[in-house]
Structure 1
C-alpha cells in the first residue's frame, strides 16, 4: 500500500473486511488454540463469560453503554442476529472497543462505523476480532450463521452503486464483477495503491448520494 495515503489505504482495507476476514480466521483460530491448554474448556468458558455480561436497560445509545451491553434482541430476529449480538458484546467487553456499534435490525453490522473505528491509529483490530483475536470464535459463529445471499442481486446492487458513483463525479469508480458465481465489489481501480481520493469532499458527497443503492449488508463492500 502507498505510504503516501495511509488514511485512505486503511479505509479501503477495512471496507473489504468481510472479503478477507474469513480467510484470516483459520490463522486467528490456530493462534488462539495455541494459547489454551484445553480447547473444549476454553470454548465453554468464553460462552459463559459473554453470557454473564449484565443485561441493562438504558435510554442512552447502546453504543455508548460502558457496561458493554448491546441493545436487547428485537422480537422475531434470527440466529444470525443473536450471533452478531454476542460478537458485539465480546468486542466491547473483551476486545477493548466500548464504542463498537450495535448490529442493525437485519443482523448486519454498521460497517461505516466499524470502518471509522478501525481507521484510528493502532485500532485495526476492531475489524479483525479484537486484540489478539479474543473474539474470533464469536466472529466465526457470525459468519456461519449469516444467511446465504443472492449473489445476482448483490451484483446488481453494487453495479447500480458503481454507476451512481460515476454519475456523481467519481469517474474512475469501477464496476463489480462476478467470479465463480460470487459478486466481487468494484471501486478503486487499484486498491493496493489507491487512485481515488476517498477523503475528498466530492467523493464523500457521492458516497452519501449513492448509499441507498447498496442492499443491506453490502455497505462498506465497495
Structure 2
C-alpha cells in the first residue's frame, strides 16, 4: 500500500491538493512541540522502498517518472492556456516548481495560479498527474521534513514544530496551532528562514510544512 505524506491546510498552494478528494491525502491539524533535542517523540519510522520505473501489470500507463512528468506538463499547458501564459514548467522530477509558482502568484496577485485554476479549470489534468506520482519513501520524507523543521527553528522560527509519523503517514510540522496561528509566514523572519531552509525539503514536499 502506498504511504502518503499528509499536508497541513496552511499555504494557498495546498488548495491544489485538497481539491482532489479522490486521493488519499488527508488534512492534519494541530502539532507536537519539539523535545529539548528538537526531535519529536514518535514511533519507529516504517521503511519503504520507493518505486522505480513503472508497473503496468494492472493495465494502463506505467507509473514512472516519465509518465508523471508528461502528465504534469499537460496540467501546466492547461494552466498556461486558461490561467496564465507564464505558468512554469515542472521540475525534471515531475513535481511542480512552487518557488516559481509562488513568484508568479505574487507578481500577478492572481490566487488561481496556486489553486489549480479558477473553478477547477484544470482539475482533470491535475488528477491525472497526481494519480501517476511515483511512490514515495516515507522514511526519507520524514527525515527531510525533520531537517527542515530544525533548520526553521535554528533560523528564528522558534515555534515551528517537528513532523510526526502516524499510522504509516508523515504529518508535516509547522504552526503548533493552525486554527489560531502562532507562526506568521508573512514575517521577515519566516521568509528568511524559509529561504535558508528550502533545500532541506525533497521534491514534492514544497509547501507541505
* TM-score, scaled to structure 2: 0.68
Which residue number corresponds to residue 158 of structure 1?
145
Spell out the pairing of 1:1-222 with structure 2 (5 A cutoff): 12-17=10-15, 19-23=17-21, 78-94=66-82, 96-118=83-105, 123-222=110-209
Pick the structure with more helix per residue: 1
Distance 1:210 1:175 in 2: 14
Contact 1:14 1:115 in 2 (8 A): no
Q: How far did 1:152 drift?
A: 1.5
Q: CA RMSD in A?
A: 2.5
Q: How far did 1:167 drift?
A: 1.1
SS of residue in 1 equivalent to 2:88: coil
Q: Which has the larger radius of gyration?
A: 1
Distance 1:209 1:152 in 2: 23
SS of residue in 2 equivalent to 1:98: coil
User: CA 1:120/1:131 → structure 2, altered by over 3 Å: closer, same or farther?
Assistant: farther
Q: How far did 1:161 drift?
A: 0.5
Q: How far did 1:79 drift?
A: 0.3
Q: Which runs of 5+ in 1 are unaligned?
A: 1-10, 26-75
Q: How many residues align?
A: 161
Q: Which runs of 5+ in 2 are unaligned?
A: 1-8, 24-63
Which residue number corresponds to residue 6 of structure 1?
none
* TM-score, scaled to structure 1: 0.64
User: CA 1:127/1:187 → structure 2, altered by over 3 Å: closer, same or farther?
Assistant: same
Distance 2:109 2:192 in 1: 28
Contact 2:149 2:163 in 1 (8 A): yes
Contact 1:14 1:118 in 2 (8 A): no
Whose relative contact order is higher, 1 or 2, with alpha carbons under 8 Å and at least 6 apart? 2
